[in-house]
Amino acid sequence: MSASPDIPGRPTGREPSNFREFLSALGEPILYLTRTFRELIEMFGLTLYYMARGRTRWRAIFEQLHEVGNRSVIFVAVTLGFLGMILIYQAGYQAEQITGDLQLLGGLFLQLLLREFAPTITAMMIATRVATGMAAQIGSMVVTEQVDALQMCAAPPVDYLVVPRFIATTIMMIVLTIFAVLVSYSAGALTALFSFGLNVRTFIDLSFIGWFDLILCLSKALAYGMAVPIIACHAGLNVSGGSEGVGRATTNAVVNASLAVVILDFIITSLGYVALSLLPS
């Protein structure tokens, strides 16, 4: 029997298949993001639970403090130092062209550093260097079945692998952010001196800084410091497929951690300005 011809306007056997493929392609990323977000929340809750039990392994924490902090100092100093020089040169050049007044350059730059650049750029640097290391290290342990051995010894991987990295990264993110402010502001002051002849005493202006700027800066550093290790360790613990899986985990760790920094930056900044608008003037 020959096949019946298609009738115009009537769904053929192929259209529902294409529609299902379209829905599948549309829904798969949403399901992946939803599942990943739920697993991250669960890991964050487990991390806080094991921290509350009080079994602190100080040696592992100090090793991670050295890994996250000491080995990131040069990286952060060079990046934020050059960023400070570039911003001051660009802002100073524009100010000279428009008003010729550079008196407010240092004060406004410090406010911008505290509110945005110092915590966010530092978190991006840590997400690039530290998150990849954490994901690769834990992923290699998964591939070589060391994580399975921990579980067989009744040692929860979150307690032994995630908690020290979580504590160390949270502490060092705050320390490195303060360090980044000092380095970037000092580099900006020297650029203003040698490029525009602006006196350092004039550049150092704290009149624009208030409690809101300090709280916003430290809140961002705290949030980034908690988010980056959770995302990196989650990527490492979910490695599958051998060495290729470790490579995918490091890529996912960097991408997801950077995306989390941007989203948290938007949320905290928005909440901060809403809270500021509600305060009595």
pTM: 0.85
pLDDT at 101 (0 to 100): 81
pLDDT at 2: 44
pLDDT number for residue 26: 67
Burial class (CB in 10 A: 0-12, 13-18, 19+), 152: exposed
Predicted confidence at residue 9, as pLDDT, reads 47
pLDDT of residue 12: 52
Render pLDDT for 94-135 as a digit per residue (tens, 0 to 9): 888 888 788 888 999 999 999 999 999 999 999 888 888 999
Residues of the chain whose pLDDT is less than 50? 1-9
Residues in the chain: 281
